[in-house]
Amino acid sequence: AQSVTQLDSQVPVFEEAPVELRCNYSSSVSVYLFWYVQYPNQGLQLLLKYLSGSTLVKGINGFEAEFNKSQTSFHLRKPSVHISDTAEYFCAVFEDTGRRALTFGSGTRLQVQP
């Protein structure tokens, strides 16, 4: 069965600093990988996804993520964060076999300070 681990529950960072949110997964089959963002009192919004091809994926709002199959990781990065990036970020995995459903990590709270 697949699982997703987001290693940091909270990440405080100053505005304009770079940030990396870590995500590791475990699965015995091919997977697709996603990052979602959740702003307060809102639903989840897709930031980016990896289905195949280039392992570096660019998403909205200047975010990017790199798929590393050998390390089973899909870390999210942004070179310079803004106050408006303050939100909860969720990594999710979709196994292309069996149950074929999204499994989410527990989330990382990104707090951007001025």
Partner 1 sequence: EAGVAQSPRYKIIEKRQSVAFWCNPISGHATLYWYQQILGQGPKLLIQFQNNGVVDDSQLPKDRFSAERLKGVDSTLKIQPAKLEDSAVYLCASSLIRGTTSTDTQYFGPGTRLTVL
- CB 36: neighbour CB atoms within 10 A? 21
Nearest distance, CB of residue 12 and partner 1, angstroms: 17
Least Å from the CB of residue 16 to partner 1: 29
Rounded-to-integer distance, Cα 80 and Cα 27, Å: 32
Smallest gap, in angstroms, from Cβ of residue 103 to partner 1?
8
The residue among 85 and 95 lying less far from partner 1, judged by its C-beta, is: 95
State the Cα–Cα distance between residues 98 and 85, nearest whole angstrom: 35
When the beta carbons of 15 and 44 are compared against partner 1, the nearer one is 44
State the residues that interact with partner 1 by CB under 8 A: 4, 32, 36, 41-46, 49, 51, 90, 92, 94, 96, 99-102, 104-107
Q: What SS3 class is residue 84?
A: helix
- Measured from the CB atom, is 17 or 46 closer to partner 1? 46
Shortest CA distance to 6 belongs to which of 113, 103, 112?
103
